[in-house]
Amino acid sequence: MPTLTDEVEYGARGTLGLLVPQANTTAEPEVQALLDTDIALLTGRLTSPQPEMKERLEDFLTGIDGFVSTFSNAPLSGLGFLITGSTYHLTPEQEDAHFAALSTRYGYPVVSAAQSIRRAFACLNAKRIGLVSPYPDWLTQKSATYWKRCGVEICAIDGPETPGGFHNIYTMRNASVLDAAKRLLVHKPDLILLAGAGMPTLGPIMTLSDLGMPAISSNFCMAWQINQMAKGAEDDTTALHKLLKPNAAWRARLIERFPRVKP
């Protein structure tokens, strides 16, 4: 018999965990499309009984140990906390310390969505950011304040049309997100950030990239960081630039799985 070198059948380069908000219908399809081969992804739900978003965001962070425990003793190589709103009240230093402590406690890297975006800013040397926010005004302001604390300039903010439905963010469509991003181009940002893990972003990222404007999102950056937790990962900057290329492999995977999404 052959000698098995990996602990489980799927995920020769690593089994990664991802925590996403309870009703989010966008994060998993986007992250899965962006994952490299031989990486297995296990997803857990961030849940809260609170009716208001502000309280749910607090619960997601304060209850993180309970959510991590739902993975039990699965052999995780790392874990992503895919919600930005829960950490906007922290300084970058506080956030880094909090997630470093979690990483030490669990014995594998744990990264937040906002950390992954900050790392992307650094890799891309982006200083002037155009922000597309799907949030209500109070959370958009918290978002802008957070990014400014991180040392970047928010040169303009716009938001996509809110169609309503079961959740204002999760029912947004690529076309309205792209329209909001295009309205920011006149401000000549270094980079456009499509904020919020529930807003569809990969279609707009493809189109904006093809127009010569780099764009990233919470889901995009989290997938990049999860890829970096796997065995044999390239350095951060090389891997990120590869994901942003017009011939990036994830584009074909996304369109094959979801044909309506086209640049």
Q: Is residue 246 part of a domain?
A: yes
Query: Do 110 and 101 meet the contact criterion of CB atoms below 8 Å apart?
Result: no
Residue 238 has pLDDT above 60, yes or no: yes
Q: Is residue 143 part of a domain?
A: yes
Instruction: Provide the whole-model pTM.
Output: 0.94
Residue 1 has pLDDT above 70, yes or no: no
Tell me what pLDDT residue 2 has: 39
Dump pLDDT digits (tens) for 198-223: 899 999 999 999 999 999 999 999 99
Separation CA 207–CA 254 (nearest Å): 14
The CATH number for 199's domain is: 3.40.50.12500
| Mean pLDDT of the chain, nearest integer | 92
Confidence of residue 8 (pLDDT cuts 50, 70, 90): confident
Reported as half-sphere exposure (CB side, CA atoms, 13 A), residue 247 has a value of 0
Tell me what pLDDT residue 154 has: 98
| Token couple for 55 | 């309280």
Q: Domain of 137? A: 15-257
Residue 167 has pLDDT above 80, yes or no: no
Neighbouring-strand partners of residue 34: none
Residue indicated by tokens 């965990």: 17
Q: Is residue 136 part of a domain?
A: yes
More confident: 3 or 42: 42
More confident: 143 or 162: 143
Q: Is residue 5 part of a domain?
A: no
| Token couple for 33 | 């499309």
How far is CA 148 from its chain centroid?
Answer: 19
Mean pLDDT of 4-23: 86
Q: Compute the radius of gyration of the chain from its Cα atoms.
A: 18
Mean pLDDT of 77-97: 96
Dump pLDDT digits (tens) for 56-69: 999 999 999 999 99
Sequence-distant (6+) residues with CB within 8 A of 200 are 26, 30, 172, 173, 174, 177, 261
Residue 18 is inside which H or E element, if any? Answer: strand 15-21
Q: Is residue 92 part of a domain?
A: yes
Tell me what pLDDT residue 171 has: 74
Query: Do 26 and 243 meet the contact criterion of CB atoms below 8 Å apart?
Result: no
Number of domains composing the chain: 1
Q: Is residue 232 part of a domain?
A: yes
Residues in the chain, total: 263
Q: Is residue 263 part of a domain?
A: no
